Structure 1
Amino acid sequence: MTTRRKFIQGAAVAAPAAALAAPAVAQSTIKWRMQTYAGASLAAEVIEPAIKMFNQIAGDRMQIELFYADQLVPTGELFQAMQRGTIDAVQSDDDSMASPTEVTVFGGYFPFGSRYSLDVPVLFNQYGLNEIWDEEYSKVGVKHISAGAWDPCHFATKDPINSLADLKGKRIFTFPTAGRFLTQFGVVPVNLPWEDIEVAMQTGELDGIAWSGITEDYTVGWADVTNYFLTNNISGAWAGSFFANMERWNELPEDLQTLFRVCCDQSHYYRQWWYWGGEAKLRTQGDKLKLTTIPDEEWATVEAAAQDFWEEIAAESDVKRRVVDIFKKYNEDMVKAGRPYRYG
């Protein structure tokens, strides 16, 4: 198992490279440190291109040094580090970084909150989630910059999953809220540093992973230590965001704020097509994972349980009720709209 000390030692070597070959800068250059919740192999796809673009355009006015999962602080401490200014900006979902807001439970993979990746930006930009996220993070001194979608959440496992019974007792690395939901089906959620997952699968500490779609399974090496991929998912798209320390954000000139937003949007767009195409290609052409499926009639019981879970969450606070009501309204609208928005 990779130890924290060895990993941090490696980070000390990797950090300059993570700065993305930033040009020599003047002493007055604004410098930010940003940490993503993605490990190095995944970050190369989902965040490095956007930060490289920002640094190239901003030049000696501003440079962002990018760090990978757990390099500066553990992922679960990202929010606190950003809030106090140890880190200037973060790319993560609310759930993984243990945000102390009322909306945290909806970040990452909220069970069956979305069916497709386009659902997430529509929920935020057209159904009111942006306003709620802005309110909640403003209360705690953090700027919520923008939200976007990543891949769906599937199981990749050592043993085949062909029924709900096959999930019982399985030790699964997954997101906090997804784990909370899945326990009713016998899943045992396990929390480990991202970089330790591959080794944990090899040593038997884990039976599987429910943290991504098949694109990430191949990209980060998990397809090399698992054998099966369950085509049923518990969420059609991850929901994550870019955040910044509020004070540092307010210090930026308006044009640099705009540039940062544009680069975030570029990152969101890249993930839309990279995941959408990758999921289909690797299901049909991938040679490492065998596909399995739980029958629709049996999986319908999981979807029904999600509705009860939504109500359980909504009962916890007025803000959570507002968000759940938006999810319900949105999904009702999609069903009424019919194909291609919803089938059946």
Structure 2
Amino acid sequence: MDRRSFFKKAGTATLGAAAATTLAAPAIAQQNPKISWRLTSSFPKGLDTIYGGAVDIADRVRAMTDGNFDIQVFAAAEIVPGLEAANAAGAGTVEMAHTVLYYYYGKEPAYALGAAIPFGLNARMQNAWYNAGNGQTLVNEFMATQNLYSFPAGNTGVQMGGWFRKEINTLDDLKGLKMRIGGLAGKVMERLGVVPQQIPGGDIYPALEKGTIDAAEWVGPYDDNKLGFAKVAKYYYYPGFWEGGPVVHAVINLEKWNSLPKNYQAILEAACAQANADMLAKYDARNAVALKELVAAGAVLKPYSQEILLAAYDAAIATYAELSAKSPHFKKIYDDQLAFKRDAYLWAQIGEYTFDTFMMIQQRSGKL
């Protein structure tokens, strides 16, 4: 090859590379457009773990897109009331919400199955049902009818059974009791004589303090300690049989989800999955410390009696039969979740339960 021919070809290659670089920049820009969304939470900022799940999602999405996909987080009542968060996302008032689906069971009972129902799945089983079972598919089939798309984006683990002004020993003690209790659990407790009240987290303390309600459940020791419930109702019951593993969801307007670039969809999904794992880890780490602080401050721990648990279980099964007869959406999801739960507890009693029970005995005997 002569010198003149070599430089001619080299110059052509250089021009080609420059053109490729020029073309690449707009292509990348098109795949990573500037997008700004608003997310409304169902929770006040003071509840840093559960509210913080939405902040974690927004921070991760921002970091993974070099700030091009910006999600601004608003606490409950800053845009809409906490219990209207998913409705606002479905209507397009905001692009996204961070909420618990059982808040909306009054619109359609199938909502509750996406989060938690009395005597439902624990946190580990929820993750298995969503990620390795049919949960994600079935819940989003229903959510599409509400103009929504969703991902699990948090879990509190099994919750406590609530704060009471007086001891609850028998079923008669529940009759006429005004209790703040969320979602489908209120319908089940109503069968036992309880008068359920659906009140946002930030309004529970004043309602207890003024005697507007006689009892309230919220989450567990860490959040309950922050909200100061022990000061106005000292009897602290367990377990929260209505919330064995409640899922907190990222709920997205369906059109907005479909309009996202595919890489942004993948990034948002990954951020939600990380928030889901992180929230449960934080509650597991913080609840034990908070429980000791609550007892030291005067909280009296009390287990629900077997009489109450068995009556509540029977009431729950009767409620699910009624709802399945009325709602095809509820029946389809419930039947699948029930079949999954049967197998999950078969394995859990052989594996986790046996191991955990032995270790708890060691803890109680002071060997741990």
In the other structure, the counterpart of 1:120 is 126
Shift of 1:47: 2.8
- Percent identity over the alignment is 22
In the other structure, the counterpart of 1:149 is 155
Shift of 1:155: 1.1
Shift of 1:112: 0.7
**Alignment partner of 1:170 out of 164, 170, 177:** 177
Question: 1:216 and 2:223 equivalent?
Answer: yes
Q: Deviations over 1:83-134 (max 9, x none)?
A: 22211101112221468456213244311112x3112111222231211112
Q: Deviations over 1:117-159 (max 9, x none)?
A: 1121112222312111121122332222336532334212222
Q: 1:226 to 1:298 in 2, by over 3 A?
A: closer
In the other structure, the counterpart of 2:37 is 32
Cα distance between partner residues in 2 of 1:325 and 1:105: 14
Specify the code of the residue in structure 2 equivalent to 1:31.
S
The number of equivalent residue pairs is 316
**Alignment partner of 1:308 out of 305, 314, 318:** 318
8 Å contact from structure 1 (residues 146, 261) kept in 2: no
The DSSP-based 3-state class of the residue aligned with 2:39 is strand
Shift of 1:81: 1.8
After the TM superposition, which of the residue ranges 152-161 and 198-207 deviates more from structure 2? 152-161
8 Å contact from structure 2 (residues 101, 248) kept in 1: yes
Q: 1:45 to 1:220 in 2, by over 3 A?
A: farther
Q: 1:225 to 1:46 in 2, by over 3 A?
A: farther
| Aligned pairs (5 A) from 1:184-195 | 184-195=191-202
**Alignment partner of 1:207 out of 199, 202, 214:** 214
Normalising by the residue count of structure 1, what TM-score does the alignment of the two structures yield? 0.82
Cα distance between partner residues in 2 of 1:160 and 1:238: 26
Structure number, greater radius of gyration: 2
Q: 1:69 to 1:62 in 2, by over 3 A?
A: same
8 Å contact from structure 1 (residues 30, 61) kept in 2: yes
Cα distance between partner residues in 2 of 1:224 and 1:56: 41
Question: 1:53 and 2:53 equivalent?
Answer: no
Specify the code of the residue in structure 2 equivalent to 1:316.
K
Normalising by the residue count of structure 2, what TM-score does the alignment of the two structures yield? 0.78
The DSSP-based 3-state class of the residue aligned with 1:63 is strand
| Aligned pairs (5 A) from 1:43-122 | 43=48, 44-97=51-104, 100-101=107-108, 103-114=110-121, 116-122=122-128
Q: 1:248 to 1:214 in 2, by over 3 A?
A: same
Q: 1:215 to 1:107 in 2, by over 3 A?
A: farther
| Aligned pairs (5 A) from 1:18-29 | 29=34
Cα distance between partner residues in 2 of 1:313 and 1:254: 37
Specify the code of the residue in structure 1 equivalent to 2:339.
K
| Aligned pairs (5 A) from 1:256-267 | 256-267=264-275
Query: More helix per residue: 1 or 2?
Result: 2
Specify the code of the residue in structure 2 equivalent to 1:292.
K
Question: 1:296 and 2:295 equivalent?
Answer: no
Cα distance between partner residues in 2 of 1:70 and 1:309: 32
Cα distance between partner residues in 1 of 2:198 and 2:254: 29
The DSSP-based 3-state class of the residue aligned with 2:127 is helix
Q: List runs of 5+ in structure 2 lacking aligned partners.
A: 1-32, 358-368
Shift of 1:301: 2.8
The DSSP-based 3-state class of the residue aligned with 2:310 is helix
In the other structure, the counterpart of 1:243 is 251
Shift of 1:229: 1.1
CA RMSD after TM alignment = 2.5
After the TM superposition, which of the residue ranges 84-93 and 67-76 deviates more from structure 2? 67-76
Question: 1:272 and 2:310 equivalent?
Answer: no
Specify the code of the residue in structure 2 equivalent to 1:38.
F
In the other structure, the counterpart of 1:24 is none
